Structure 1
């Protein structure tokens, strides 16, 4: 059989297509290339997205903002002084993007106008904090990225 330009081009195209097909099959079946979603129930959370938008808008329209500040004791989350602390109900969720095992949630049950997250629970690095609370049947949501 005579090897010419046409045969060489066909062999090169078939080799390239085989290589690409090999990569696609390897990436889709190998467990080392498996990545977790940001949350386990991603699609359920997507359904409540408009409620989140409304709650974030409510938080943005507050006269006095919720302040998140690092102190010697830990992370201090100060709610507006006009709010009665006993009527604030909700939760604070701290999400560590680099390690799922460090994520934790704290219910908001306070007698002062602030909540203190203990220093020992927070490692240095990036944290995403979500504060979801209800006051006078109005929902508020604050999402921030903090460096600790």
Structure 2
């Protein structure tokens, strides 16, 4: 049986559409390809962006900013020594880009200007740290990407 050029084009279109539909169905039904938004309330957070810029500017104007180091016990976030630790309040948010189920937030409770995030809470890989803190009524923000 001989296939003319019109039938060949139709067969090519059907094969191409079948190929594309296979990948669409695979991506929609397979849980390994689940990708969520970075955050659930993306637009709400976008409206707060100028506020974050102001907080980061405040943090950069400090004599000494927040730093961090990896230890055997976990990740230690070190607040400036020249500030009174009793007046530092806020929260630390750790975001795992590869899986939102590992994201967590914890309040700041300092011991000796250090905040320890236990090793058991952190998996190896990339983490985004966001420290939103206040000192004497002034707001500060520290953001860092960390490979743990």
TM-score (norm. length: structure 1): 0.78
Choose 33-42 or 52-61, whichever is displaced more: 33-42
- The root-mean-square deviation of aligned C-alpha atoms, in Å, is 2.8
In the alignment, which residue of structure 1 is the partner of 2:145?
145
Q: 1:115 to 1:28 in 2, by over 3 A?
A: closer
Choose 87-96 or 109-118, whichever is displaced more: 109-118
Instruction: Tell me whether 1:37 sits opposite 2:37 in the alignment.
Output: yes
Mapped partners of 1:36, 1:43: distance in 2: 15
Mapped partners of 2:98, 2:142: distance in 1: 21
CA drift of 1:126 comes to 1.1
Kindly indicate whether the alpha-carbon contact (under 8 Å) linking 1:91 and 1:105 is maintained by their aligned counterparts in 2. Answer: yes
In the alignment, which residue of structure 1 is the partner of 2:91?
91
Q: 1:54 to 1:12 in 2, by over 3 A?
A: same
Q: 1:46 to 1:4 in 2, by over 3 A?
A: same
Mapped partners of 1:55, 1:107: distance in 2: 18
Unaligned runs of 5+ in 1: none
Q: 1:96 to 1:7 in 2, by over 3 A?
A: closer
Kindly indicate whether the alpha-carbon contact (under 8 Å) linking 1:90 and 1:134 is maintained by their aligned counterparts in 2. Answer: yes
Instruction: Tell me whether 1:69 sits opposite 2:63 in the alignment.
Output: no
Mapped partners of 2:119, 2:10: distance in 1: 65
Unaligned runs of 5+ in 2: none
In the alignment, which residue of structure 2 is the partner of 1:120?
120
